[in-house]
Amino acid sequence: MAAKYGLLLVGIGMGDIHSMTTSALNAIQNADLRILESYTAKWNDDDILKLKEMVGEFEYALRPDIENPDKILAQCQEKSVAIMVIGDPMQATTHVDLLLRAEELEIPYKVYHGISITNLATGISGLSNYRFGRPTTLTYAYGGWVATSPLEVISVNLQLNLHTLVLFDLDPTGLGTGNMQPMLPIDARKVMYQMLEKWQEDSLQEIEEVVDSSFKFKNHSVKQLPENLSQLPVVVCTDLGTTNQSLWRGILGSIEKAPVGNMHCMIIPSHLSEIEEKALKKWAKE
Amino acid sequence: MAAKYGLLLVGIGMGDIHSMTTSALNAIQNADLRILESYTAKWNDDDILKLKEMVGEFEYALRPDIENPDKILAQCQEKSVAIMVIGDPMQATTHVDLLLRAEELEIPYKVYHGISITNLATGISGLSNYRFGRPTTLTYAYGGWVATSPLEVISVNLQLNLHTLVLFDLDPTGLGTGNMQPMLPIDARKVMYQMLEKWQEDSLQEIEEVVDSSFKFKNHSVKQLPENLSQLPVVVCTDLGTTNQSLWRGILGSIEKAPVGNMHCMIIPSHLSEIEEKALKKWAKE
């Protein structure tokens, strides 16, 4: 970047400092101020320490700092500020919004892309990227409110014979203000059971209100989940992109057997092609 | 990697050498033999030259070398061989298969992931990753054979109100043996019109043979495309990840107005959220 000030939105990849691109590393090292966005994903303490050794000291930003970015943008008017985001920075609406605000203020900006979990999960599992439908995120139940959309996404994908990448929330409060607790596989199961219960209640209430084809589709698709949700095939991904990464293949009902690490996500596989089956057999524990 | 021999499958990212991760760069520089896989994507000559300066000389592998990899795997028994793949190496079945073969021969292997076009296209456009359905690739019509599946994927996604990432083929022969000609936006339009014609013929023939729900769905979904395919909204992505990258927003019928570069892909947007609309307005030429 030619300007001496501005916003650098830098993806630092998954897992550790070596998964950063050389241009990202360069940009961070040369920035006047470094800020780690710390509410959409988490690295372990060791890797955070190594990051500091490699790029120098940095501050932390939580959700309110990014969503109400007046302070950050004011700093960008005077110096070059690198916002470091785990994975790829442009997968989140908040970051798109941040760039649009910078543009309105005529602050120069540049994006450095990083390897995202979407890449890693499809790649490491050996499942074909072309056979993944829409991804989803399992959220914690916030104060009694239970989302059902993740289950709907999974069942629509199954109906279309597509795999689903299921990311896990890491913020039990939904506020993004600290005390992040990345969802564990057993929490994910609990949340999914809650979702099914809620969805079945909703379906009973709304069964008469079939107004358009998308709604019909929604109801139809519930049938694609196994009658007993605990039988749903899952592939749990643990600490992808780190030296500890592992895949575990089983059913939702036995998810407590999956390895527990720092960050998890899950793939709900549909029917597997021959090579996908072979790859999972080799690379996923059962 | 501890072993002095083996297979390194290395993603080198999109665009140029600076989009490589530091671990990928390291692995390539330290390998005994370097091979660039050159049939699933293409860099321009300048960047290939810079890559050589940075990592040393390398050979090229075409599709037959990777699909019948006896020669490569024999070399991996004696030295460390880095197969460089543009983008991420594990998005293609062929590379998954290559790893499985290495494993059968007890050849040590390691994968280095790279930034893939999937990351870039969703990120650079500002469209939400969560609103992308299954991706597809537009293939050239090989000797009279026209695929209709890309159009089916697009229309199913539109029915579900999801965007589609449409990659472009770069091999008019389908053999992967050289003379790659990355599909241009105007070729893409031509192929899509051919596909529609084929699909409509097929539908007439098969209308009586409605055997299962997936087939019904397939026929139903044709309606989601505009009656006149030339009205289909498209976002053409040109040279993503390079300094020349650009986005162009328009309709399929006017696709000749899109910038022409070295590599292209396309997004078929569904209904845009407010922030998606705002991002496209800012970042895509019309």
Q: Is A116 on the interface with B (CB under 8 A)?
A: yes
Distance CA A133, CA A213 (A): 19
> pLDDT band at A223, cuts 50/70/90?
low
Put simply, the chain B residues between 204 and 243 with a CB less than 8 A from any chain A CB are: 213-214, 217, 241
**Which three-class secondary structure state does DSSP give residue A35?**
strand
Whether A97 and B25 lie within 8 Å, measured CB to CB:
no
> pLDDT band at B193, cuts 50/70/90?
very high
Nearest CA-CA distance, residue A103 and chain B, Å: 9
Distance CA B18, CA B26 (A): 13
3-state helix vs strand vs coil in chain A, percent to 5: 45, 20, 35
Residue B89 clears pLDDT 60, i.e. is over it: yes
Fold of B118-285: 3.30.950
Correct CATH for A6-115 of 1.10.730.10, 3.90.550.10, 3.90.1150.10, 3.40.1010.10? 3.40.1010.10
**pLDDT tens, B222-249?**
567 887 899 999 999 999 988 899 999 9
Whether B119 and A124 lie within 8 Å, measured CB to CB:
no
- Nearest by CB: A133 against B17, B133, B282: B133
User: Torsions phi, psi of A134, nearest 5?
Assistant: -55, 135
Whether A88 and B123 lie within 8 Å, measured CB to CB:
yes
Whether A113 and B116 lie within 8 Å, measured CB to CB:
no
How many CB pairs (< 8 A) connect A and B?
147
Contact B116, B11 (CB under 8 A): yes
Distance CA B258, CA B41 (A): 20
Complex ipTM: 0.90
Contact A101, A53 (CB under 8 A): no
Structural domain boundaries of chain A? Answer: 6-115, 118-285
Contacts of B39 (CB under 8 A, 6+ apart): B62, B63, B66, B170, B171, B176, B177, B180
Higher pLDDT among residues A147 and A260, named by residue: A260
Among B40, B134, B221, the residue to mutate for chain A (most A Cβ within 10 A): B134
3-state secondary structure chain B: CCCCCEEEEEECECCCHHHCEHHHHHHHHHCCEEEEECCCCCCCHHHHHHHHHHHCCCEEECHHHHHCCHHHHHHHCCCEEEEEECECHHHCHHHHHHHHHHHHCCCCEEEECCCCHHHHHHHHHCCCHHHECCCEEECCCECCECCCHHHHHHHHHHHCCCEEEEEECCCCCCCCCCCCCCCCHHHHHHHHHHHHHHHHHHHHHHCCCCCCHHHHHHHHHHHHCCCCHHHCEEEEEECCCCCCCEEEEEEHHHHHHCCCCCCEEEEECCCCCHHHHHHHHHHEEC
Distance CA B113, CA A14 (A): 10
Residue A80 clears pLDDT 60, i.e. is over it: yes
Residue B220 clears pLDDT 70, i.e. is over it: no
Query: What sections of A58-116 are H helices per DSSP?
Result: 63-67, 70-76, 93-104
Whether A124 and B111 lie within 8 Å, measured CB to CB:
yes
**pLDDT tens, A149-174?**
999 899 999 989 999 999 999 888 87
Which residues of chain B have a CB within 8 Å of the CB of A137?
130
Residue A57 clears pLDDT 80, i.e. is over it: yes
Q: Is B88 on the interface with A (CB under 8 A)?
A: yes
- The CA angle A273-A242-B133, to the nearest 5 degrees, is 40
Q: What is the residue type of B227?
A: E
Nearest CA-CA distance, residue B126 and chain A, Å: 6
Among B93, B94, B106, B240, the residue to mutate for chain A (most A Cβ within 10 A): B93
Nearest CA-CA distance, residue A126 and chain B, Å: 6
Q: Determine the pLDDT at residue A243.
A: 86
Nearest CA-CA distance, residue A11 and chain B, Å: 11
> pLDDT band at A41, cuts 50/70/90?
confident
Residue B23 clears pLDDT 70, i.e. is over it: yes
**pLDDT tens, B124-176?**
999 999 999 999 999 998 777 888 899 999 999 998 999 999 999 988 887 77
Q: What is the residue type of B218?
A: K
Distance CA A268, CA A27 (A): 37
The two three-digit tokens of residue A245, written as one number: 């990464």
Among A86, A104, A134, the residue to mutate for chain B (most B Cβ within 10 A): A134
Residue B210 clears pLDDT 50, i.e. is over it: no
**pLDDT tens, B42-83?**
788 888 899 999 999 999 998 899 989 999 999 999 999 999
Q: What are the CA-CA distances from residue B141 to residues A10, B72, B161, B173, B194 (Å)?
A: 40, 31, 28, 9, 8
Q: Is B6 on the interface with A (CB under 8 A)?
A: no
Residue A42 clears pLDDT 70, i.e. is over it: yes
Give the residue-averaged pLDDT of B206-235.
Answer: 64
Closest-CA residue of chain B to A162: B134
Residue A255 clears pLDDT 70, i.e. is over it: yes
Put simply, the chain A residues between 10 and 39 with a CB less than 8 A from any chain B CB are: 13, 17-23, 25-26
Question: Rg (Cα) of chain A, in Å, rounded?
Answer: 21
Distance CA B35, CA B58 (A): 5
Which residues of chain B have a CB within 8 Å of the CB of A40?
none
Among B55, B86, B130, the residue to mutate for chain A (most A Cβ within 10 A): B130
- Kindly state the helix (H) or strand (E) to which residue A279 belongs, with its residue range: helix A274-283
